């Protein structure tokens, strides 16, 4: 829905500029692909995960998204991370692991008295 609102708001601005480069079919297809891959697909995957995972586990996984994005930036586009950024990413990962381990519950079989 947000993407449709953004398109509606930006359309008047786009109509006021030279559209020769933007009207290229390749540019339009790449723009649509970026829009789908950066918002629609991840959001749909998150909703599917939320339906199947416990809320605590889902929250922990969501907290790992910035670390995953930093690693993708490092591997895909060659972004370099500072020592503070590495430390922050490590803290988030350690906290997520700790939160996951703390929420585990041991299930004991029901013991019926004799």
Q: What is the 3-state secondary structure (H, E, C) of 62-88?
A: HHCHHHHHHHHHHHHCCCCCCHHHHHH
3 or 68, higher pLDDT: 68
Please state whether 17 falls in left (phi above 0), alpha (psi between -120 and 50) or beta. beta
More confident residue, 16 or 108: 16
What are the DSSP E strand ranges found in 1-114? none
pLDDT at 82: 92
Residue ranges covered by each domain of the chain: 1-52, 54-105
Is the pLDDT at 5 greater than 80, yes or no?
yes
Give the model's pLDDT for residue 75.
92
pLDDT for position 110: 62
> How confident is the model over 18-73, as pLDDT tens digits?
777 777 788 888 988 888 888 888 888 888 988 998 887 888 888 888 888 888 89
| Residue 105 pLDDT | 58
Output the pLDDT for position 104: 56
Span 64-113, pLDDT tens digits: 888 888 888 999 999 898 999 999 988 888 888 787 676 555 555 565 65
């Amino acid at each position: 829905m947000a993407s449709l609102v953004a398109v509606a708001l930006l359309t008047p601005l786009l109509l006021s500029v030279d559209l020769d480069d933007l009207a290229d079919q390749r540019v339009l297809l790449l723009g649509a692909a970026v829009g789908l891959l950066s918002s629609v697909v991840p959001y749909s995957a998150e909703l599917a995960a939320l339906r199947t995972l416990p809320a605590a586990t889902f929250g922990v996984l969501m907290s790992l998204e910035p670390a995953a994005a930093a690693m993708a930036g490092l591997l895909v586009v060659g972004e370099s991370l500072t020592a503070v950024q590495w430390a922050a990413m490590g803290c988030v990962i350690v906290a997520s692991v700790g939160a996951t381990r703390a929420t585990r519950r041991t299930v004991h079989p029901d013991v019926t008295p004799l």
